[in-house]
Chain A
Amino acid sequence: MTASPMRHRGAIVFALAVLASLPVRASSQALDRAQRPLAPPELAFKFPNVPMPVVLSNGLRVYVVADHSVPVVAVRVVTSADSTLDPRGKEGLYAVTIGALHEGTRTRSAEQLAGAAADIGTDVRPTGFTTTTALFPRALDLLADMVMHPRLDSGAVERRKQIQTGAEGRVAQATVTVPRHLFYAMLYGADDPFVRSLVPTEASVASITTAEVTAFYASHLQPQNTSIIITGDVTGADAAARVRQAFGSWPRGTALPPVSSEGGVIGHPTTIYLYDVPGTQTYLYVGAAGPARTSPESYAADVMSAVATARLQRALREKRSFMYSGTTGFTWRRAARPSAFVGSTLVAAQKVDSALVEWLAMLRGLRGGEPITADEVAAARRSRIGSLAVRIDGADSLAARMVELVRDTLPLDYFDRYAARASSVTAGELTAVAARVIDMDHLIIVVAGERKIIEPALRAANLARVVIVDASGRPVSP
């Protein structure tokens, strides 16, 4: 075969035109594709080198991971504060506070701040930015101004409350919001700060005052509980020096920032929580409590979830055509808090009972009823490690992984450890971890769909106790 190099549009268009005019020709010699090519051995996954952070005198930590493959720099601000610190009745306070940092500083109005960012073509937000190498210093100075010198006047707070209310409205009308909240409410309890943060309300945002925002900022955004993550086309020394220059005058806080009061899990017997909502499709959430991300079995558990996803796809999509897409996995929490092993999908209301029969059979199979094969183990390993490489492709992706490490207080070599453990995990280990995590007696099954269609079929199937609940998870009398 011959082919000709083309570099210019005109040449390609001309070539296409000429080729299109050629008569159709039969294949001279058809290739035998029966034999799949043998792939060479895969390279071991390697996370980029993460030096220990530079700690400024005010306590601010600076993590720099260099990647000179593209002239891009990503910067992220990570604090120990998040929405789980919102007081009861003030859900949305963290989001409004962070947003208000974007609404002007002591020396720049909101418009001037936006104009300065627009001048460098960079979307600089209080949580970070991504820009070109050349513009990194200017963007960093803007970021520091937002974080260290916010105006936080009533105008800034009111504007952010309105924007937050709009964002919450979009979340509230999303189909997934209620079933997701119900699942986590049943797992961790409705009062758990994480669960409360999933469904902020317009009323709570409306009640937030400027004084509360100012107080939240003062007590939670301090250099000693903040990290700056920088990935991309920088050197460690230069980046740290620039952060020192930009953030060095941020005074250390006078008190330790409060921490979240998240708790453990609630162990209900396996129950189907049915939430009545009109619609032709039904949301399913199925899962249970899982190990902490810092636990030794988290690696095998994560690989096991890849086997579960593949089996769910086979059972509900390829075999029964019940679903378009669905997945299972772990929702990790900070530090040593228990995770959630959870799967979700949408199916037609008329198929809910059959879909759950298949799903529960799949879970029982993972526990040993249908032994995990060597091929499944190999595919799950490759899937997890392969996707890990994609998930650090580019400065943004790398920064996102660094945020995970810092936010969840994981060791800096966590992803290398993960790849090493995942690449050697055995079928026996996967089955063992499935048996421990997937407790068939303590599953949480949330069904959000048309009750009059679903309830009779669910009760007839007798898969588990069925409780009708409202959007908050409170039982509804029949």
Chain B
Amino acid sequence: MMRFRAFARRWVVSAVAASVAATARPVTAQPRAPLPVRPLSYTSFVLPNGLVEILNEDHASPLVAVDVWYHFGSRDDPPGHAGIAHLCEHVMSQGSPHLAQPQPAFYRSIGGFPARGAETTDDVTAYYVVVPSNQLETVLWAESDRMAAPLSLADSQHLPQIRSIIAQERQQNVENVPFGTSRELTLAALFPTGHPYHPNPAPGPAGPADLTADQLRSVCGPYYAPNNAVIALSGDFDATVARRWIDHYFGDIPRGKPPAHGPVPQPAAHPERRLVLEDARARQPELHVDWVGASYANPDRMALLALASALSHDQSGRLTRLLIQDRRLASRVIVENYDLEQSGVFEIAVVPNPGASMTLIETLVDSTLASLATTPVTREEIARFNAANAVRAATSLQTRFARADTLAHDMIFAGEPTTYATQAARARRLSPKDVQVIARKYLTPSRVVMSRVPAGRLDLVSRPDLPYTNVTPRSGAPKP
């Protein structure tokens, strides 16, 4: 699955996610200050072959979540080979030398969940499953079989079929979704051609058709090495036994030579870019304003999230109150910082009410942002952000699935499995001045403003007096 994890939902788990060292507490206190975020308890080891293992033992439910993450995402696609990381994820999910069926089907047959258990993001390829705890050793065996002989089914028998399925996936999740191509068009406008986060659609969404199986293995294979992977377990297991199994099943896999991930340059400043995207399926327009944001491990990130909260928190955010409650111009306002490993996207998205002017909405958004210079985010707004952090810290890590996912994510993205807790603690020290400085630093004129409109409704475009580029894919939007 090509999942835009970082650009879609990461915030839900990671930004505010946190911990639950699970002891029952009586219902008593009514705290004035949010409770501190306590990190998940875990132990971590590194095998001699470089595989990092993170174990969160918790016997509350007879389940174990197993996440195996490889530090290999679409930003590692070599020039001219766009889509190859995703293609390799599918090859790796077709089975392995001693598993004669696709892993998702096998995991389903042993009580595993969810139905599909793999995704490729800009930065990682992740395989994951939650199983009844008696099946843990079986999953470790299967995952080690996959890691020990990566891409074993990259052959002429399987590749055409896999390419066809990937083409269906893109059709289903991108091409036939209203404004489904908007994410890659926004990233393409924020990050210049050649930048690792600039999505390059060529030579096709199904992956490079001209690559042979050997070439595929030579490009992807080095990334599928234990010293480029993290395995995270959360749930009902004995850590000593789990360590022994991991050692047994993964210990013989030789370390590889994964290509280094170099630093990602920050895009140069540029004038505002104004885009228009039409879609015949769409019934309602949307206005999106995007800037390059902060990466997951960037110390600026929590201040950006505090700003996002002050602007859009439920009905009390400045923009939600203004646009939905007071002026009744919009039905939805979302402000987020979407994490990438080495960058981010800060986005304000507004869904106008029928008949509301997107030009007026953009003007009000801009005046609200401009007012931050004279009316900074208040201590009360920051306190509410931290209160929400503390609550979500507990509520978003209820499940073993979320815990293993978070531990693996934070290890790869920040080098420490419970970075979310460190970040939440840091956020408690934020001042209005900190948020103001960050707003000035990130919310610059180098932004992308995209009017998304139903096909043919260019009259709905925001600020039509300013020049814009119509980025509607020529074949993407069917005619009404």
Q: Which residues of A contact B (CB under 8 A)?
A: 1-9, 12-13, 15-16, 19-20, 22, 24-31, 33-34, 36-37, 39-43, 67-72, 102, 110-111, 113-115, 117-123, 130-138, 158-159, 162-163, 165-167, 169-170, 172-175, 202, 233-234, 238, 242, 278-281, 310, 313-314, 317-318, 321-325, 327, 346-348, 375, 378-379, 382-383, 385-387, 389-390, 392-397
B457-480 Cβ-contact flags toward A at 8 Å (1 or 0):
000000000000000000000111
A202 to B415, CA, bound (A): 50
Q: Return the contact of B354 from the options A36, A165, A318 (Cβ within 8 A).
A: A165
Q: A386 near B113 (CB under 8 angstroms)? A: yes
Question: In the complex, how many angstroms separate the beta carbon of A424 from the nearest chain B beta carbon?
Answer: 16
Q: B254 near A27 (CB under 8 angstroms)? A: yes
Q: B395 near A130 (CB under 8 angstroms)? A: yes
A7 to B418, CA, bound (A): 10
User: Given A173-B178, A348-B168, is A387 in contact with B113 using a C-beta cutoff of 8 Å?
Assistant: yes
Closest to B180 in A: A175
**Of A158, A174, A390, which is in contact with the most chain B CB atoms at under 10 Å from its CB?**
A390
In the complex, chain A residues whose CB is within 8 Å of the CB of B227: 16, 19-20
Q: B399 near A19 (CB under 8 angstroms)? A: no
Closest to B280 in A: A278
In the complex, chain A residues whose CB is within 8 Å of the CB of B383: 119
Q: A39 near B135 (CB under 8 angstroms)? A: yes
In the complex, chain B residues whose CB is within 8 Å of the CB of A278: 280, 478-480
For residues 241 through 287 of chain B, which have their beta carbon under 8 Å from a beta carbon of chain A?
Answer: 243, 247-249, 251-257, 280-284
Q: B50 near A42 (CB under 8 angstroms)? A: no
In the complex, chain A residues whose CB is within 8 Å of the CB of B437: none
* 6 intermolecular pairs with C-beta atoms under 8 Å apart: A71-B25, A111-B316, A162-B324, A175-B176, A346-B172, A393-B130
Q: B46 near A4 (CB under 8 angstroms)? A: yes
Q: B148 near A166 (CB under 8 angstroms)? A: no
Q: B63 near A137 (CB under 8 angstroms)? A: no
User: Given A173-B284, A325-B116, A383-B108, is A281 in contact with B25 using a C-beta cutoff of 8 Å?
Assistant: no
In this assembly, does B431 line the interface, its C-beta being within 8 Å of a C-beta of chain A?
no
B6-24 Cβ-contact flags toward A at 8 Å (1 or 0):
0000000000000010111
User: Given A69-B61, A382-B109, A389-B132, is A242 in contact with B415 using a C-beta cutoff of 8 Å?
Assistant: no
Query: Which 8 A-B residue pairings sit nearest by Cβ, starting from the closest?
Result: A386-B111, A166-B331, A394-B398, A121-B387, A69-B60, A9-B416, A379-B109, A278-B478
In the complex, chain A residues whose CB is within 8 Å of the CB of B132: 42-43, 382, 386, 389
User: Given A31-B249, A111-B325, A281-B172, is A70 in contact with B141 using a C-beta cutoff of 8 Å?
Assistant: no
Q: B46 near A12 (CB under 8 angstroms)? A: yes
Question: In the complex, how many angstroms separate the beta carbon of B407 from the nearest chain A beta carbon?
Answer: 12
A68 to B133, CA, bound (A): 20
Q: B29 near A134 (CB under 8 angstroms)? A: yes
In this assembly, does B314 line the interface, its C-beta being within 8 Å of a C-beta of chain A?
yes
A270 to B338, CA, bound (A): 47
Q: Return the contact of B30 from the options A13, A24, A138 (Cβ within 8 A).
A: A138
Closest to B28 in A: A134
User: Given A173-B284, A202-B354, A390-B63, is A118 in contact with B176 using a C-beta cutoff of 8 Å?
Assistant: no
Given A68-B24, A169-B354, 6 other A-B residues pairs in contact with their CB atoms under 8 A: A3-B47, A5-B45, A9-B414, A102-B315, A202-B354, A382-B132
Q: B52 near A121 (CB under 8 angstroms)? A: no
For residues 398 through 430 of chain B, which have their beta carbon under 8 Å from a beta carbon of chain A?
Answer: 398-401, 411, 414-416, 419
Binds A, one of B76-84, B97-105, B209-217, B365-373: B97-105
In the complex, chain B residues whose CB is within 8 Å of the CB of A138: 30
Question: In the complex, how many angstroms separate the beta carbon of B118 from the nearest chain A beta carbon?
Answer: 12
In the complex, chain B residues whose CB is within 8 Å of the CB of A386: 110-113, 131-132
Interface SS, A side: mixed
User: Given A5-B44, A122-B391, is A173 in contact with B314 using a C-beta cutoff of 8 Å?
Assistant: no
A71 to B36, CA, bound (A): 13
User: Given A6-B44, A6-B45, is A383 in contact with B399 using a C-beta cutoff of 8 Å?
Assistant: no
A202 to B282, CA, bound (A): 15
A239 to B328, CA, bound (A): 39
A2 to B47, CA, bound (A): 7
A67 to B243, CA, bound (A): 28
Q: Which residues of B contact A (CB under 8 A)?
A: 20, 22-31, 34-35, 43-48, 50, 52-53, 58, 60-63, 97-98, 102, 105, 108-113, 115-116, 130-135, 137-138, 141, 144-145, 148, 160-162, 164-166, 168-169, 171-173, 175-178, 227, 243, 247-249, 251-257, 280-284, 313-316, 321, 324-325, 328, 330-332, 351, 353-354, 383-384, 386-392, 394-395, 397-401, 411, 414-416, 419, 478-480
Closest to A321 in B: B164
Q: A134 near B98 (CB under 8 angstroms)? A: no
Q: A1 near B47 (CB under 8 angstroms)? A: yes
Closest to A132 in B: B394
Q: B252 near A29 (CB under 8 angstroms)? A: yes
Question: In the complex, how many angstroms separate the beta carbon of A277 from the nearest chain B beta carbon?
Answer: 8
User: Given A33-B145, A390-B63, is A118 in contact with B131 using a C-beta cutoff of 8 Å?
Assistant: no
A6 to B398, CA, bound (A): 25
A27 to B149, CA, bound (A): 13
A395 to B397, CA, bound (A): 11
User: Given A19-B227, A134-B31, A393-B398, is A310 in contact with B105 using a C-beta cutoff of 8 Å?
Assistant: yes
Q: A1 near B48 (CB under 8 angstroms)? A: yes
A140 to B18, CA, bound (A): 23
In the complex, chain B residues whose CB is within 8 Å of the CB of A314: 105
Question: In the complex, how many angstroms separate the beta carbon of B401 from the nearest chain A beta carbon?
Answer: 7
A123 to B387, CA, bound (A): 11
Q: Return the contact of B325 from the options A29, A39, A110, A131 (Cβ within 8 A).
A: A110
In the complex, chain A residues whose CB is within 8 Å of the CB of B398: 70, 72, 393-397
Q: A5 near B176 (CB under 8 angstroms)? A: no
Q: Return the contact of A70 from the options B60, B62, B414, B416 (Cβ within 8 A).
A: B60
A348 to B176, CA, bound (A): 11
In the complex, chain B residues whose CB is within 8 Å of the CB of A162: 324, 328, 331, 353
A348 to B164, CA, bound (A): 10
Closest to B354 in A: A165
Q: Return the contact of B384 from the options A9, A70, A121, A392 (Cβ within 8 A).
A: A121
In the complex, chain B residues whose CB is within 8 Å of the CB of A389: 61-63, 111, 132
In the complex, chain A residues whose CB is within 8 Å of the CB of B330: 166
User: Given A37-B138, A121-B34, A132-B391, is A71 in contact with B254 using a C-beta cutoff of 8 Å?
Assistant: no
A314 to B105, CA, bound (A): 9
In the complex, chain A residues whose CB is within 8 Å of the CB of B252: 27-31
Q: Return the contact of B137 from the options A1, A7, A39, A173 (Cβ within 8 A).
A: A39
A117 to B134, CA, bound (A): 42
A198 to B89, CA, bound (A): 36
Closest to A378 in B: B109
Closest to B385 in A: A121
A453 to B346, CA, bound (A): 42
In the complex, chain B residues whose CB is within 8 Å of the CB of A317: 165
In the complex, chain B residues whose CB is within 8 Å of the CB of A321: 160-162, 164-165, 168
Q: B324 near A159 (CB under 8 angstroms)? A: yes
Q: B134 near A43 (CB under 8 angstroms)? A: yes
User: Given A135-B391, A325-B116, A382-B110, is A280 in contact with B175 using a C-beta cutoff of 8 Å?
Assistant: yes
In the complex, chain B residues whose CB is within 8 Å of the CB of A375: 109
Question: In the complex, how many angstroms separate the beta carbon of B386 from the nearest chain A beta carbon?
Answer: 8
In the complex, chain A residues whose CB is within 8 Å of the CB of B35: 132, 134
In the complex, chain A residues whose CB is within 8 Å of the CB of B130: 390, 393
Q: A33 near B165 (CB under 8 angstroms)? A: no
Q: B111 near A119 (CB under 8 angstroms)? A: no
Q: Return the contact of A394 from the options B47, B248, B399 (Cβ within 8 A).
A: B399
In the complex, chain A residues whose CB is within 8 Å of the CB of B105: 310, 313-314, 318
Q: A40 near B384 (CB under 8 angstroms)? A: no
In the complex, chain B residues whose CB is within 8 Å of the CB of A25: 254-255
Q: A170 near B176 (CB under 8 angstroms)? A: no
Closest to B388 in A: A121
Q: B47 near A324 (CB under 8 angstroms)? A: no
Q: Return the contact of A72 from the options B137, B171, B249, B394 (Cβ within 8 A).
A: B394
In the complex, chain B residues whose CB is within 8 Å of the CB of A279: 176, 281, 478
